[in-house]
């Protein structure tokens, strides 16, 4: 089966100059995919021929351009972007998925606008009130931990946290093939009495669900332990936690470089240590985890990091391909509808 | 002037076995301090003589024991601890400060209980609704960044965030001697339109304050840049961010060790690289930043990390001494009362 991707070429900090080479690379690697490059036709064509003048000859019908005359800026207010820009590259990309022309959409654009437009155009699955952004984080046990929500929702009610937990549970089953993934709520203490009321209530609801292996609260210092498979929180907290981790990783790496340039002796050692550090950097490089799913939508929508480079963008595209193969939204629909909870309002 | 400290010996994961040797070390280093070791008399005496049988002879009247028959457990519900334990080591320590017997209190105990008891017993400064936990974080510019709240309050209204910003401003002036510290609000985007309503409103209030150098929003990946001096957020977010940073630092260090033991070549390099890594570890060791102030109280209360070891506990004690010298609560009172804002309800 051919997998078709709609790629928003105009989003992110670097736009087509990074996204188009990543898309061409994906076409080269995966012979069974077709890509719609969505964006301003002239700009897209120019960038394609700049990176590979033979691209259209090589990939033929697998490489297509879908014109979109507008671009949603990274700092544009989502409500304004939705109202005023009916032909944005982001909207056109999502529309290709809605129209069943594409199987998945990838965008590095304005997260708020992507979330709002996807919810309006693609729609959420039955039983899902709000989508959540989920990403895979590395851990000590060399597996991955799925964490959500990472910024789709500023706040989350107990019901929403519960629904995130169920979606994470299904995601982990589908992607990692784990039968009974461990699901936890992020909180500022492990004791049942701690934290926000919404979290305590979500914990109560989840602990009554036989289908979900709810293991209680985890604190943020345990995220990278690998003791649980799914960690659930509101989007404000998740986004801050993720960005703080990015920030301190860069800080620590810089500090390590400072140590290695402190004196002639450490500089000498640095020369020898280079391959080890390179391997370390490769291992901790957040790029390899780029590509966050907007979980709970009827179709596959992948958010690439705004500052993603070519390699990282390729990871987001690969993530989309893998979700098409695993039919993640269908899996969620099948299992979440089964799990739907009688929530009292 | 002699500085007197009340040290809760029973709190934290290790209790007297870590806190007492740290207190004895502090007495050795600082000739101008007096310490009340607060806890169960027999246990405290036993531990003191175990670490230094001559301690009472050496330090004389500078080393005192204040008996407290009860201990608040780390996982005890604060409301219960307050109701049921009228003679806890934490309460007795705080009482010594209230009674002007001690100038500061240091506790590694249950954060929620410490916060609640301190608010009840010590009280907040005029104009301060709720105290906030503030700590110093390292940054790229080799200065420190004061971040608050780190867990005293689960949520924070716009007015509370504003008051945290003002206290952080004064703290930074008092501790770092900076005339015009840069104060920012933590948010999930830098644009004015992003984030929670409470944050937007706090931003509006702060931007109208001529006395405060409010510079707008920062995202969590900028915490360690050193571009701002004070970062303000609610306690749930702050606590999660701080703990996530702890967790990933430990994770990265472990990954680095994995790289160095990968093969005989990397092991050989590891042997040479040891002093560099040691210096790195020392530089990034969170212990040196241990000791968070409960800012906004009438007296000095320092929270030491529950898992603090002897060195880290000593840092918290040093922090208390430095706050006594700088008369932080008085400074806040002087300046916050001057800055008090006409908040509309």
The CATH topology of domain A1-128+296-329+339-345 is Isopropylmalate Dehydrogenase (3.40.718)
Strands (E), A84-191: 104-107, 132-138, 144-148, 182-186
Letter string b/e over residues B240-275, b meaning 16 or more CB atoms within 10 A of that residue's CB: bbbbbbbbbbebbeebbeebbeeeeebeebbeebee
Q: Do B77 and A249 touch (CB under 8 A)?
A: no
Report how far residue B28's alpha carbon sits from residue A89's, in angstroms, rounded to the nearest whole number.
Answer: 68
**What pLDDT score was predicted for residue B246?**
87
Q: What is the DSSP letter of A125?
A: P
Give A249's contacts in chain B (Cβ within 8 Å).
Answer: 248, 252
Report how far residue A236's alpha carbon sits from residue B236's, in angstroms, rounded to the nearest whole number.
Answer: 10
Q: Which residues pair with A33 in a beta bridge?
A: A3
Interface residue B271 vs chain A (CB under 8 A):
no
Q: Which of B139, B243, B266 sits opposite A276 (nearest CB)?
A: B266
Q: Which residues pair with B105 in a beta bridge?
A: B6, B301
Q: Which residues pair with B184 in a beta bridge?
A: B216, B231
Interface residue B142 vs chain A (CB under 8 A):
no
Query: Residue-wise pLDDT tens for chain A (345 aa)?
Result: 799 999 999 999 999 999 999 999 999 999 999 999 999 999 999 999 999 999 999 999 999 999 999 999 988 888 899 999 999 999 999 999 999 999 999 999 998 899 999 999 999 998 888 899 998 888 999 899 999 999 888 889 999 999 999 999 999 998 888 999 999 999 997 777 678 999 999 999 999 988 899 999 999 999 999 999 999 999 999 999 999 998 888 888 888 777 777 777 777 777 777 776 677 666 666 666 789 999 999 999 999 998 899 999 999 999 999 999 989 898 888 877 666 554 544
Q: Which token pair is A114?
A: 């992507």
Are A260 and A266 a contacting pair, CB within 8 Å? yes
- Per-residue CA distances from A109 to A14, A61, A321 (Å): 10, 26, 19
Q: Which of B236, B245, B276 sits opposite A188 (nearest CB)?
A: B236
Q: Do B221 and A250 touch (CB under 8 A)?
A: yes
User: Rounded to 5, what percent of chain A is helix, strand, coil?
Assistant: 50, 15, 30
Q: Which of A298, A344, A337, A345 is nearest to A163 (CA)?
A: A337
Higher pLDDT, B345 or A156: A156
Widest CA span in chain B: 68
Q: Which of B256, B10, B237 is nearest to A154 (CA)?
A: B237
The CATH topology of domain B1-128+296-327 is Isopropylmalate Dehydrogenase (3.40.718)
Domain A129-294, architecture per CATH: 3-Layer(aba) Sandwich (3.40)
Q: A219 CA to chain B: closest CA distance, Å?
A: 7
Query: What is the predicted ipTM?
Result: 0.86
* Tens-digit pLDDT profile for residues B86-140: 999 999 999 999 999 999 999 999 988 999 999 999 999 988 888 999 988 889 9
Contacts for B183 with CB less than 8 Å, ≥ 6 apart: B165, B168, B169, B206, B212, B213, B214, B215, B228, B229, B230, B232
Domain with CATH 3.40.718.10 in chain A: 1-128+296-329+339-345, 129-294
Give B259's contacts in chain A (Cβ within 8 Å).
Answer: 276-277, 279-280, 283
Q: Which token pair is A315?
A: 């990871």
DSSP track, B230-259: EEE--HHHHHHHHHHHHHHHHHHHHHHHHH
Interface residue A221 vs chain B (CB under 8 A):
yes
Interface residue A307 vs chain B (CB under 8 A):
no
Q: Which token pair is A172?
A: 């982990």
């Amino acid at each position: 089966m051919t997998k078709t991707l709609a790629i928003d070429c105009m989003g992110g900090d670097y736009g087509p100059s990074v996204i188009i080479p990543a898309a061409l690379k994906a076409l080269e690697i995966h012979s069974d995919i077709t890509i719609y490059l969505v964006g301003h036709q002239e700009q897209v064509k120019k960038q394609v021929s700049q990176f590979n003048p033979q691209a259209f000859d090589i990939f033929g019908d697998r490489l297509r351009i879908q014109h979109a005359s507008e671009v949603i800026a990274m700092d544009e207010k989502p409500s304004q972007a939705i109202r005023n820009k009916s032909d944005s590259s982001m909207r056109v990309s999502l529309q290709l998925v809605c129209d069943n022309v594409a199987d998945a959409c990838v965008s590095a654009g304005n997260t708020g606008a992507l979330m709002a437009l996807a919810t309006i155009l693609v729609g959420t699955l039955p039983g899902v009130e709000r989508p959540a952004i989920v990403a895979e984080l590395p851990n000590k046990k060399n597996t991955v931990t799925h964490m959500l929500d990472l910024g789709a929702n500023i706040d989350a009610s107990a019901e929403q946290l519960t629904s995130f937990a169920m979606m994470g549970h299904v995601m982990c089953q589908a992607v990692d093939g784990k039968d009974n993934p461990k699901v936890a709520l992020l909180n500022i203490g492990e004791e049942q009495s701690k934290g926000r009321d919404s979290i305590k209530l979500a914990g109560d609801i989840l602990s009554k669900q036989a289908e979900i292996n709810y293991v209680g609260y985890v604190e943020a210092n345990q995220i990278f332990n690998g003791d649980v498979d799914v960690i659930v929180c509101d989007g404000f907290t998740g986004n801050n936690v993720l960005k703080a981790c990015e920030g301190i990783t860069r800080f620590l790496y810089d500090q390590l470089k400072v140590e290695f340039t402190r004196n002639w002796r450490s500089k000498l050692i640095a020369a020898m240590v280079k391959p080890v550090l390179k391997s370390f950097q490769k291992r901790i490089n957040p790029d390899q985890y780029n590509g966050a799913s907007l979980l709970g939508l009827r179709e596959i929508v992948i958010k690439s990091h705004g500052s993603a480079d070519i390699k990282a963008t390729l990871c987001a595209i690969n993530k989309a391909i893998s979700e098409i193969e695993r039919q993640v939204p269908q899996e969620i629909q099948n299992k979440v509808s089964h799990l739907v909870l009688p929530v009292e309002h």
